[in-house]
Amino acid sequence: MMPPKTVPTQLHLHKGAGHWYKDSMITQDALIGYVRTALPDAVVSVTDRTGTMDHFSIRVVSDGFKGKGLLDRHRLIYQALNEPMKDGRIHAVEIKALTQDESR
């Protein structure tokens, strides 16, 4: 797979697992921001699972999950994290999605 033809000069790409990735990491604050864009009331905690800042465990507590099943909750979070997942800043994510009542 070839890298995109138009790449800004300050962007460095590397190939991994057959895909081209930005040579940057996402911060936990940025990751929380992506989730809160989709779920403004969310209480989000993030754990870096490997020390490489691209494998995360995320716990999201939001009443936006009320009435939604597990798959719909996860889809909502994956949609919120679409950009950093597509560009490689997030390689893997483990999700725990709860309502306020479920978190007690």
Instruction: Given CATH 3.40.605.10, say whether it is the number of domain 25-98.
Output: no
Q: pLDDT of 39-97, one tens digit each?
A: 999 999 999 999 999 999 999 999 999 999 999 999 999 999 999 999 999 999 999 99
Number of neighbours of residue 73 by Cβ within 10 angstroms: 20
3-state SS assignment for residue 48 = strand
Q: Model-level pTM?
A: 0.77
Q: Who wins on pLDDT, 18 or 24?
A: 24
Residue 35: which residues within 8 A CB-CB, separation 6 or more?
Answer: 42, 44, 58, 60, 77, 80, 81
Amino acid identity at 95: I
What sign for the dihedral angle of Cα 27, 29, 35, 37?
Answer: negative
